[in-house]
Structure 1
Amino acid sequence: MANTLKLEIVTPDRKVLSEDVEYVGAPGILGEFGVLPSHVPFLSALGIGNLHYKQEGKAHYVFVSGGFAEVSNNKVTILAEVAEKATEIDIDRAQKARERAEERNAQAKEKIDAARNQAALRRAIARMSCQRSGKSAGTC
């Protein structure tokens, strides 16, 4: 596979993915970035959102939250605080987490609590979006 790159996604708990892929799109802290084979080396902090990759022309999705992405020598290494394949996401659990975060946001009085709740809300919404993306693509 001359026109591919290796994608590895690792969390503190486990290796989530190790595959040869054609493209990787990831949520950087300053916006989404894309990587194709032979990309120049770089390092980026990750935000909260959906990483997507193409394998044999099909799109696949992984929810990621925090961490770093390193691109070097036709390899993308994702060191994420949290990473879940779209097929692993429990949509009911994510919806309940979203509802709890929205309730806490409405009641938050301190800036620290508000920031923590906003992050929880963003994670829940991104998980739900990733799970839906994976199902609609029919490839997860």
Structure 2
Amino acid sequence: MATPQQEPTWQPISMLAMLTDHVQEGVAMAREQLATLEKGRSKPYVLDDATVARVKQVFTQTAEDNELFAEQGRRWAAMDLSAEQRRDVERYAALVEQMQTETTAILSLTDELAKQTIETVLAKSDLELGIEALLRDGRL
């Protein structure tokens, strides 16, 4: 029997700077991951099924976490804040939105790359691979 999910521990506004730093680091890491995965788009033999599955698993969890970060921002935004705190919360919310965008892009790309793993390529005939290469290079 599955256990019910525990209610998140919502953070006080005093944690805003720490969570902003955390999300900002997450955005940078996600952008690096996306750039790395983009290289696999033109090389359909580079990644294996396990790697693509692991990236998808990690960023599916990240997408769930992003929802919690967004809710935390909405909770802070609903508070009576100083002008500086409101600007900081807006910056935090913008970073969370960037993280959500990067995460969505990564998940979309992993779906594409899952069709081009080394295992998928090895399962194809030489004829299929040749035709795909010619189509990719625009020769057909």
TM-score by length of 2: 0.38
Q: Which has the higher contact order (CA 8 A, sep 6+)?
A: 2
* Larger relative helix fraction: 2
* Larger relative strand fraction: 1
Q: Which has the larger radius of gyration?
A: 2
